[in-house]
A = this chain, B = another copy of it.
Amino acid sequence: MGSAGQRGRPRSGEADVRLLDAALALLLDRGYDRFSVDEVAAKAGVAKTTLYRRWPTKDHLIVAVVARLQDSVPVEYSGDVRSDLTRYLGEIAAGLDRMRRAGRPATSGETSAGLVAEVAAAAARHADVGAAVQAMFHRRNALVLALLGQARERGELHADVEPEVVFDQLAGALYYRLLITGRPLDAAYIDRLVGSALRGASA
């Protein structure tokens, strides 16, 4: 009753795991280019067809991998906007940092935004990948938008503060640094950033 009834052989859950694991490993020590689908399949011990049944494109696969990388951001509220924002931006920066290292020799101090940029590019190439990427970021950001909204309602922020805009300014600055300027995303910068954003916002 209710259940649709199983048709055909079910997809192998193990294949998913092995593929994503292999892909992640490969992505991290190769980077986007030099990442090859054939190699993922081989490393996972899975047929290429099985991979392509799940992700129709290298881009799709990589985005799935990245999503898994990013999807573990437990946030807790302390009630203090400044420290909450600082902590959250720190998490984002750390996440970007994990991606930043993909494909670069660990020793190289290079600030490479390659993977992030590639993901954005992939998002632009395929509409569905774009949707997935936006959803991924939306999930990540929803908490912070809520946090800003609550702070405003509590009177901790001016009434005319627009959470969305403020958030764009904060996150945007990080991405801009990473992708364009190439300057570091350290704690000091994050402090300055939060400070600047809250200067006019706090009541």
**Contacts from A to B (Cβ < 8 Å):** 31-33, 110, 112-118, 120-121, 123-125, 127, 130, 133-134, 137, 158, 161-162, 165-166, 168-177, 179-182, 192-193, 196-201
- Cβ-defined contact, B120 with A192, below 8 A: no
Given contacts A114-B124, A117-B120, contact A168 B177 (CB under 8 A): yes
Chain B residues whose CB sits within 8 angstroms of the CB of A182 once the complex forms: 123, 130, 134
Given contacts A120-B117, A169-B197, contact A125 B176 (CB under 8 A): no
Say whether chain A's binding surface is mostly helix, strand, loop, or mixed: helix
What distance in Å separates the Cβ of A145 from its nearest Cβ neighbour in chain B?
Answer: 12
How many copies of this kind of chain does the complex include? 4
Within the assembled complex, what's the spacing in Å between the Cα atoms of A114 and B170?
22
Chain B residues whose CB sits within 8 angstroms of the CB of A199 once the complex forms: 158, 161, 199-201
Chain B residues whose CB sits within 8 angstroms of the CB of A113 once the complex forms: 120, 123-124
Residue in B134, B180, B192 whose beta carbon sits within 8 Å of that of A175 in the complex: B180
Of residues A171, A177, A179, A198, which shows the largest number of chain B Cβ atoms within 10 Å of its Cβ? Answer: A179
Of residues A137, A198, A199, A201, which shows the largest number of chain B Cβ atoms within 10 Å of its Cβ? Answer: A199
Chain B residues whose CB sits within 8 angstroms of the CB of A201 once the complex forms: 199-200
Given contacts A117-B117, A170-B169, A201-B200, contact A133 B180 (CB under 8 A): yes
Given contacts A172-B174, A180-B137, contact A196 B120 (CB under 8 A): no
Quick one: closest B residue to A119, CB to CB? B117
What distance in Å separates the Cβ of A37 from its nearest Cβ neighbour in chain B?
Answer: 16
Within the assembled complex, what's the spacing in Å between the Cα atoms of A45 and B18?
34
Quick one: closest B residue to A8, CB to CB? B47
